[in-house]
Structure 1
Amino acid sequence: MAQVAIRLWTFPLAIALLLLVAAHLAWWLSLRAGYIEPCNPYWDGCTSISRAARHGLGNHLFRLLVLPCAVLLAAHWWLASRWAGGSAPSRLLAALGVAAAAALGVYAAFLGTEGAAYGFLRRYGITVFFGCGYLAQLLFLRRWRGSVRSLQRIPWGAMLAVCIAMLLLGAVNVVADAMMQDRDRQDRLENALEWQLGLLLAFWYLLQAWAWRAQRLLLSLDR
């Protein structure tokens, strides 16, 4: 029976590219259709990712890209847990990753729908996605730390720096929410931070793809 070898680094690479393309393609299509105002969302915060992907063709293409991305994300974290070993922390890594993937799928599936129940699923779907995904990233780095070689210190350090930057963005959002009185400015800041957080998240997976590619990790499948 022949075996097919799949390079593991293609999983985080595909996740990063799908997330980036889905968000920016939806933003561009919604801008062209007049659903959102023209601006730089990373700086001006004129629209959130959800609003940019809520209407028209942008919504359909966003879901078409993000739903398969959720499946890839679940497979990726399961593979990451196998790579990290069979211990309890590794099983926790898989559980957190699968929870993040399921939440992303729920968020994408109900984006653009109306109703209080659907709004609840969207809101908490994206919250669980970022929260569980972030915890999985930290646990991944912790498990990897003990076996980092000299050639792997650069991507490991860069991935840790991205995690710190995401934590700082979250802290800025909490402080701004508590101190700002102007609701419009608060919403714009929250939108800008959401875009920046999404960019950092994709960059983390790109760094992981770089690290796994250097390690030449393969998944062998019987055909």
Structure 2
Amino acid sequence: MVADNSRIPLWPLPLLLTLLFVVAAHTAYLLSIEGGHVPACIPYLDGCVSISRAARHGWGNHLFRLLVIPCAVLHALVWLLAARWLRGGTAMLALGVLSAAALAVYATFLGTEGETYRFLRRYGVVVYFGFGYLAQLALMRRASLSKALPPRLIVAMSWISIAMLMLGVANVAAGQLATDPATKDRWENIVEWWLGLLMVGWYAVLAMGWRRQGLGVELKSRDPM
């Protein structure tokens, strides 16, 4: 017989994912400023440094790796749980897990030198954002069709996705139109910071949805008698 039931809520997982990434990126930047590796500015407005450069040197690099690699594990776990929650979505799950793996690759090789490592870092960034974005769209579609989330949360997620798409389009346009390399770099840096914030902010909205739905894992212990 079941002697004790305890339920573990799932909503803290996507919320923790968001917090880990935000703390990792911003704390690494502050440590890099203190170490004299990067200039000080408001990167969301000035674009003086990219997330990658902000976390590439010294203690900032160590801290970033320490926090972002577990963050990548949480990414994968959230997508596994999302597929079970929505009872399907093979493509969504594959995209989400590949995005998580790309984030782990990016964090692992950040700060290393060499053409191969540079390719892996670039691959990690592109696949993380690209596949992660597609996985988010797939989840919103399935959650909307199955009414698994309240409409206003779907709307909030959709606005975040639209903002990410607009930033991506603007970044491509700026790359084609900007003639000054420094201006192009600043704009790309600004876009990277905002895209990173919006990408993980989407998971915070998902956490709100899971909390409202009361999703959890039930642990059962059985009486040996």
Which digits, 9 at most, give the CA deviation of each residue in 1:170-208, with x for residues without a partner?
A: 000000001111110000000001001111112111111
Aligned to 2:140: 141
Aligned to 2:209: 211
Q: CA deviation at 1:91?
A: 1.2
Aligned to 1:14: 16
What runs of 5+ residues in structure 1 fail to find an aligned partner? none
Aligned to 2:157: 159
Q: Structure 2 CA distance, aligned partners of 1:164 and 1:137? A: 12
Q: Structure 1 CA distance, aligned partners of 2:169 and 2:52? A: 21
Q: Which runs of 4+ in 1 moved over 3 A?
A: 1-4
Q: Structure 2 CA distance, aligned partners of 1:3 and 1:170? A: 47
- Sequence identity percentage: 54
Q: Does 1:119 align with 2:118?
A: yes
Aligned to 1:67: 69
Structure 1, 95-104 or 139-148: larger mean CA deviation: 139-148
Name the TM-score, length of structure 2 as normaliser.
Answer: 0.94
> Could you tell me which amino acid in structure 1 is paired with residue 32 of structure 2?
S
Aligned to 2:50: 48
What runs of 5+ residues in structure 2 fail to find an aligned partner? none
Q: CA deviation at 1:45?
A: 0.3
Q: Does 1:195 align with 2:176?
A: no
Q: Secondary structure of the residue that 2:150 maps to in structure 1? A: helix
Aligned to 1:175: 173
Aligned to 1:29: 31
Aligned to 2:128: 129
Output the aligned Cα RMSD: 1.4
The 1:221–1:110 alpha-carbon spacing in structure 2 relative to 1, beyond 3 Å, is farther
Name the TM-score, length of structure 1 as normaliser.
Answer: 0.94
Query: How many residues align structurally?
Result: 219
Query: Bigger radius of gyration, 1 or 2?
Result: 2
Q: CA deviation at 1:93?
A: 1.2
